[in-house]
Structure 1
Amino acid sequence: MNVAPYAAVAMQLTARSTERCADTAAARAQILSHIGEIEGAIRTAAIFIEQYAGRPVKLAVLPEYLFTSYPGRVGIAEFAERVGFAADGPEYAALGGVAQRLGLFLAGNAYESDRHFPGFYFQTSFIVAPSGSVVLRYRRLLSMFAPSPHDIWDAYLDHYGIDGVFPVARTEIGNLACVASEEILYPEIARAFAFRGAEVLCHSSSEIGSPLATAKDVAKRARAWESMAYVVSANTAGISGTVMPLASADGNSQVVGPDGKILAQSLSGETYTAFATLDIEALRATRRTPAMTNSLARQRPSLFAPVYTAANGQAGNAMLRDGEAQVPERGDFHRMQQAVIDTLAKAGAI
């Protein structure tokens, strides 16, 4: 099926922390209210973008943890209970209604609970189709302060398999995948999705905005070129409801083309100005043409497999005991990383 060119927009919106909510009921009510509020912003953006660019908006990407902000020092199980989206919960139903009424794909990021792993939460990037159904949920694999599917690897694979670890949604607007926050800094994540057919990487982030080239800015362009894929990266327009200065994570939302060139970029504040036309058929033609710039065709994964296999890094199943998932304490994440650093130092790698 041919894909007609369409517009994608990175919605730069203010994340709203739930830390000042009196209880779980208040936090849940605030989340649902916030989901309702974004519909008008996206609808208005889509109208102006189509008038300006002459292309309908078929994809809108929301920032990282837009509806809750980060957990801070709240315990894993407590945070999962307080704000974790259930797969069949009212939050996804509300997001599905937004996507359905607007007639577009809606990508975003939230903390998600899982009935298979009570007490855990996973930072999850999701894509909701115009039908209202969630067609992709990707759980963040590389995180400093949150559980990863890799921490309970064997049990996680039993439930979801490798397709649930690196999901790609094959849709009428192209093959979509999600990269969460800091994971844009790691080429392996984007490359894995590219090898599984991803053409558009939806990147939800909450990061420092700067007129200087930040690490994430550099990485977004690199991941686009390496993967021969579009990157639609939505940053927060600050985080409200915390003692942190509002604009600490604000600005630089952008759309990057498969050649690594920035097609559009926002400054600070709430805005829809990071939008661009995505031409999926042109991308597919480029991927199928022999050239020095065809990074996918020139890559040799088996060449590097032995080095990766032998490398010392964070081991899987760190939170499994006798096959059962054990909810970690906040301090465990620091101790796990320190153990890796010690191992790398002994091996002479650092």
Structure 2
Amino acid sequence: MTAYRALALQTTCHAVNGARDRVEARAIMRETISRLAQQIAASIAFIGRDCRLVVLPEYFLTGFPVREGFAEWSDKACIEADGPEYAALGRIASECGIFLAGNAYELDRHFPGLYFQTCFVIAPSGEVILRYRRLNSMFAPTPHDVLDRYLEIYGWEGIFPVARTEIGNLAALASEEILYPEVARCLAMRGAEIFLHMTSEVYGGPRAPKEAAKIARAVENMAYVISANSAGVIEAGLPAASTDGGSKIIDYRGLILAETAQGESMAAFAEIDLDALRRARRRPGLMNLLSRQRFDLYAESYTRARFYPPNTLLDGAKGREHFWRTQQEVIARLEEQGMI
């Protein structure tokens, strides 16, 4: 398959923060998945059967922790890698014949007491074929916080996974990670052609940093960016429309192919032309930025740099104050070294 349509589905997140317990939270998740099944099927009926890829927003299943600590959020909102939620989402992918991408808080038996914000891709077979754990987060654990142990279990391919599929080489980016060029670059080094960007962000218009970053990540890596934002987050205690609007698809030249305004929408769909992308990557010339990269020049600087430290959660979960304190220590050290 060299050309097909993709959809960045902008849907409302029904948060579980107000749920009294795990049972009520799971009921909200089931309702969300049932609603998504209808929205996805109806959207494909409108777009056409050549819609083979659907990307859902960040937090679509649960929202995000507001006042909840590690233990409470783990029990209430985090799902198991082999849990019923993935099975239900797998049925949607299978019944619709699509690759379905989303983002959820997930438990990992190797790291009791922690959870990871996980971007996933489910194939039309119903199988999860990609599981990327967010690497940059303000208040949530990441693989970097337990790096040595994580590498022992999953290796570097588990840190920067790329799924090679019939619809292209898929990789995932979570939310603000669009602002970190190194994450997308490491995925591009492993062959990523399509970045699936699950986000829940303030839609700031064309001059906002994240909007500029989406175009930059597409151009510098010669890759498609499919960015699905939420249509608001309700029942989390925050103003519902704080994160609403601007889902879009950007091609490998940085051109916005489709974009939607605020509210629930399937308007952000467009054709993904793999042949055109691959021709551009194979064509010598000024605009073939990927083939002209001189990574050897940068390697030493990255190797020597010491900014945010790894492995700070190897001994278990800590509260939000840990993340504040760690960042403050980094800033103080960089200031002392004359770097900021």
1:300 aligned partner, one-letter code: R
Answer whether contact 1:77 1:121 (CA < 8 A) is retained: no
Question: Equivalent residue for 1:327?
Answer: 317
Q: What TM-score, normalized by structure 2, do the two folds share?
A: 0.98
- What is the aligned-residue identity percentage? 51
**C-alpha distance in 2, partners of 1:211/1:128?**
31
Q: In the alignment, which of 71, 92, 109 is matched to residue 115 of structure 1? A: 109
Answer whether contact 1:127 1:135 (CA < 8 A) is retained: yes
Tell me the C-alpha RMSD between the 2 structures.
1.0
Q: In the alignment, which of 274, 296, 317 is matched to residue 302 of structure 1? A: 296
Q: In the alignment, which of 17, 20, 28 is matched to residue 26 of structure 2? A: 28
Answer whether contact 1:312 1:343 (CA < 8 A) is retained: no
**C-alpha distance in 2, partners of 1:15/1:327?**
26
Q: How far off its partner does 1:70 sit?
A: 0.9
Alignment of 1:25-174 (within 5 A): 25-50=23-48, 56-174=50-168
Answer whether contact 1:141 1:148 (CA < 8 A) is retained: yes
1:7 aligned partner, one-letter code: R
Question: Equivalent residue for 1:4?
Answer: 2
Q: In the alignment, which of 213, 222, 231 is matched to residue 216 of structure 2? A: 222
SS of the residue aligned with 2:183? helix
1:192 aligns with 2:186: yes
**C-alpha distance in 2, partners of 1:305/1:73?**
40
Question: Equivalent residue for 2:195?
Answer: 201
Q: How far off its partner does 1:312 sit?
A: 2.4
**C-alpha distance in 1, partners of 2:159/2:206?**
34
1:343 aligns with 2:337: no
1:285 aligns with 2:279: yes
SS of the residue aligned with 2:268? strand
**C-alpha distance in 2, partners of 1:78/1:162?**
30
**C-alpha distance in 1, partners of 2:338/2:85?**
48
**C-alpha distance in 2, partners of 1:123/1:339?**
24
Q: How far off its partner does 1:210 sit?
A: 3.2
**C-alpha distance in 2, partners of 1:110/1:211?**
26
Structure 1 residue runs without a partner (length 5+):
none
Answer whether contact 2:63 2:236 (CA < 8 A) is retained: no
SS of the residue aligned with 1:272? coil
Question: Equivalent residue for 2:264?
Answer: 270
**C-alpha distance in 1, partners of 2:139/2:310?**
16
197-206 vs 69-78, greater mean Cα deviation: 69-78
Answer whether contact 2:14 2:233 (CA < 8 A) is retained: yes
SS of the residue aligned with 2:310? coil
C-alpha offsets along residues 236-280 of structure 1, whole Å, 9 cap, x if unaligned? 000011221111100000000001111111000000101110001
23-32 vs 175-184, greater mean Cα deviation: 23-32
SS of the residue aligned with 2:267? strand
**C-alpha distance in 1, partners of 2:303/2:81?**
33
**C-alpha distance in 2, partners of 1:274/1:5?**
17
**C-alpha distance in 2, partners of 1:135/1:339?**
38
SS of the residue aligned with 1:122? strand
**C-alpha distance in 2, partners of 1:188/1:327?**
26
**C-alpha distance in 2, partners of 1:314/1:73?**
25
**C-alpha distance in 2, partners of 1:240/1:99?**
25
SS of the residue aligned with 1:137? strand
**C-alpha distance in 1, partners of 2:39/2:57?**
14
SS of the residue aligned with 2:275? helix
Q: How far off its partner does 1:212 sit?
A: 4.6
C-alpha offsets along residues 77-129 of structure 1, whole Å, 9 cap, x if unaligned? 22112111111111111110110111000001010001111110100000000
Pair 1:258–1:318, CA change in 2 (3 A)? same
SS of the residue aligned with 2:24? helix
Q: How far off its partner does 1:199 sit?
A: 0.5
261-270 vs 210-219, greater mean Cα deviation: 210-219
C-alpha offsets along residues 47-99 of structure 1, whole Å, 9 cap, x if unaligned? 1112xxxx710000000011111111211122112111111111111110110
